[in-house]
Structure 1
Amino acid sequence: MKNKLVTYQNIGKKGYKETWDYQDQLFQEIIQSKMDNRKNNTEKPTKNYFLFVEHPHVYTLGKSGDISNLLLNEKQLEAKGATFYKSNRGGDITYHGPGQIVGYPIIDLDNFFTDIHKYLRFLEEAVILTLAEYGIKSERSSGETGVWLDVGTPFARKICAMGVRSSRWVTMHGFALNVNVDLGYFDNIIPCGIKGKAVTSMEAELGRKLDIKEIQEKILHHLGQLFEWELIES
């Protein structure tokens, strides 16, 4: 039986590792439920979760990433007040920090559709639709995940990064939309391992700070429309 209820939690400001451990706990619980169903020949509904979080300054490297894309040593990281983690998500290196909206869907795609590419496109679409509400025209870049501006021009810049993990059609990790983030922190990496590509934020594009909560609500609305899920706030 497909369960389209999604438990939503806005966990506020929380460290990357602590949040990763929490995600993994939920992720493993869903996988265990699926394994139990298979073992016992049952069809008990599996759970779905969606988390919003804001991380302190942190650089994370995906499982296929290149450590040379981090341009800081340990002492320089400390001076920047930042930490570094090797992650088990896809993608290369990225930055998370204050003023950024980070969304982590931990969902069983068997409840929706078993297509990881469609899943990524839906995450991108929710961000694209949200940005459009603020007059920012964004799009996808062929062969690259995430959401971009002015693709195909010398001014191409990334506004939202994505990196996910999935096992048995259960997802974790997710997307990071730059809202009021300090873009200077991106100067310390080769973002997503792509040389010559710039990074931007909603604040940089619009010339003003934006309401994080309002943007989160718009993203949730669009995700709900795309996935046809129902949120339960926790």
Structure 2
Amino acid sequence: MRGVARSGYVLNLGAVAYREAWDLQRSITSAVSQRALPDTVLLLEHPPVVTLGRRTEPGELHIPLGAQVEIVETDRGGKSTYHGPGQLVCYPIFDLTRHGQDVKKYCRDLEEALIRTMAPFGIAATRIEGLTGIWLERPPRKIASIGIHISKWVSTHGYALNVDLDPAPFTEWITACGIEDAQFTTIARELGRPVSVEEVRPHALAALAEVFERPTQRAAVSK
């Protein structure tokens, strides 16, 4: 068993409102930056929410009146994106002084973790030069989004992997990630069968542990 400085915690939180999860991230960030907590990963789902990154432009939003969706401005990088039930959201709160203090490498490592998460399902996910997130090719269709924030070398936000949800809001409500005419897909759509977030979660956790070389401990959560 490695010491706590070489291990990390995982919180499987289930469904959590976006603002509540953001508040939790900030609380944990403070503890991680002070070395009171090791690297910590939050795995969860959000109720329908459109989040706006720092580079979001006004013309990206075309949400219909009466749509049951929250809109939240955030401090993460990137543009607008959508979260909803059936999407695995992962927020790694990592002290990057333990990971090389290299933001570009950290983003590439998140991409690699996503690619490895989908490999056991036979999905050949990949990067596409010039585009953010993780994609499937021929035709290009996006299956995961990445947006992060770094403060005092501690990361917040992370990635969202489309497991089994209606991708229509990505194109009907917003210009997702600022990409006109982008196509979106899900693990379930690619496999042609229902897939639960619970089925994907162990693979996501294993991929993070491999890529970041951090053993993890599940922490108890009371809600």
Match of residue 230 from structure 1: 215
One-letter identity of the residue aligned with 1:11:
L
Asked if 1:92 corresponds to 2:83, the answer is no
Match of residue 199 from structure 1: 184
Contact 2:113-2:207 at 8 Å conserved across structures: yes
Identity across matched positions, percent: 37
Larger radius of gyration: 1
In 2, Cα distance between the equivalents of 1:127 and 1:117? 16
In 1, Cα distance between the equivalents of 2:72 and 2:17? 11
Asked if 1:157 corresponds to 2:141, the answer is yes
Q: Name structure 2 gaps, 5 residues minimum.
A: none
Match of residue 154 from structure 2: 170
Asked if 1:29 corresponds to 2:31, the answer is yes
**Structure 1 residue 47, shift from structure 2 partner:** 2.4
SS of the equivalent of 1:198 reads coil
CA-to-aligned-CA distance 1:10-59 (integer Å, 9 cap, x gap) = 1110100111111011113333x1xxxxxxxxxx6762110001000000
CA-to-aligned-CA distance 1:47-83 (integer Å, 9 cap, x gap) = 211000100000001012113211126xx2xx22111
**Structure 1 residue 189, shift from structure 2 partner:** 0.8
**Structure 1 residue 118, shift from structure 2 partner:** 1.2
Alignment of 1:33-182 (within 5 A): 33=34, 47-72=38-63, 76=65, 79-150=66-137, 155-182=139-166
Contact 2:54-2:74 at 8 Å conserved across structures: yes
Contact 1:69-1:191 at 8 Å conserved across structures: yes
**Structure 1 residue 2, shift from structure 2 partner:** 9.1
CA-to-aligned-CA distance 1:178-226 (integer Å, 9 cap, x gap) = 0111112222111100112111111111111113222110111111111
In 2, Cα distance between the equivalents of 1:88 and 1:15? 17
In 2, Cα distance between the equivalents of 1:65 and 1:185? 16
SS of the equivalent of 2:180 reads coil
CA-to-aligned-CA distance 1:133-154 (integer Å, 9 cap, x gap) = 111111101132210011xx5x
In 1, Cα distance between the equivalents of 2:146 and 2:58? 18
In 2, Cα distance between the equivalents of 1:8 and 1:22? 13
TM-score in terms of structure 2 length: 0.91
One-letter identity of the residue aligned with 1:107:
F
Q: What's the Cα RMSD here?
A: 1.7
Q: Name structure 1 gaps, 5 residues minimum.
A: 34-43
SS of the equivalent of 1:114 reads coil
In 2, Cα distance between the equivalents of 1:64 and 1:185? 19
Contact 1:2-1:110 at 8 Å conserved across structures: no
In 1, Cα distance between the equivalents of 2:182 and 2:63? 19
